[in-house]
Amino acid sequence: MSGAAIHQRIQRLMNIGVIKGSEFVLNPTKVGYHTCAFMGVFLKKASLFDKVVQMLEQIPEIVECHYTTGQYAIFIKIYAQSNEHLKRILHDKLQSIPGISSTETIISLDESFKRQIPVE
């Protein structure tokens, strides 16, 4: 397949929304972030969701934020430089957000794999 044909196919997939974009994928430990954690967020009221998400988006260590079913209203992924740094993020940033009633943190010991969904 020629380079032009590949480019046209990629452009078509982007135009129809199959491909959202491209990105460089950093190795967090190589740039000083050695702690990965997931956190379930409980809200005082469901109506506070949008405001809480806007405030969470201002915290650069939060790299993913999901609106979920189940016990948590929000589920986030955080990278921190260390466990101490994670503790500071929790105490200084997250627990000061109005609308969050409590959180539950799960620290990842290792990422076994990460992949995109297969396209057939």
What are the domain boundaries of the chain? 28-108
pLDDT in tens, 76-88: 999 999 999 999 9
Residues 6+ apart with CB under 8 A from 81: 32, 33, 34, 35
* pLDDT computed for residue 25 by the predictor: 86
Instruction: Write the CATH number of the domain with boundaries 28-108.
Output: 3.30.70.920
Residues 6+ apart with CB under 8 A from 10: 19
Q: Which residue matches tokens 């079913």?
A: 69
75 pLDDT above the threshold of 90: yes
Given a contact cutoff of 8 angstroms between Cβ atoms, the answer to whether 82 and 89 are in contact is no
Average pLDDT, the chain: 93
Reduced DSSP (H G I as helix, E B as strand, rest coil) percent helix, strand, coil of the chain, to 5 = 35, 25, 40
**What's the pTM value of the predicted model, to 2 decimals?**
0.84
Q: Which residue matches tokens 């430990």?
A: 29
- Mean pLDDT for the stretch of residues 26-52: 95
Given a contact cutoff of 8 angstroms between Cβ atoms, the answer to whether 82 and 34 are in contact is yes
58 pLDDT above the threshold of 80: yes
* pLDDT computed for residue 41 by the predictor: 97
* pLDDT computed for residue 118 by the predictor: 83
pLDDT in tens, 93-116: 998 999 999 999 999 999 999 888
Residue 78, burial from CB neighbour count under 10 angstroms (0-12, 13-18, 19+):
buried
What percent of the chain has pLDDT above 70? 99
Which pLDDT band, with edges at 50, 70 and 90, does 2 fall under? confident
* pLDDT computed for residue 44 by the predictor: 94
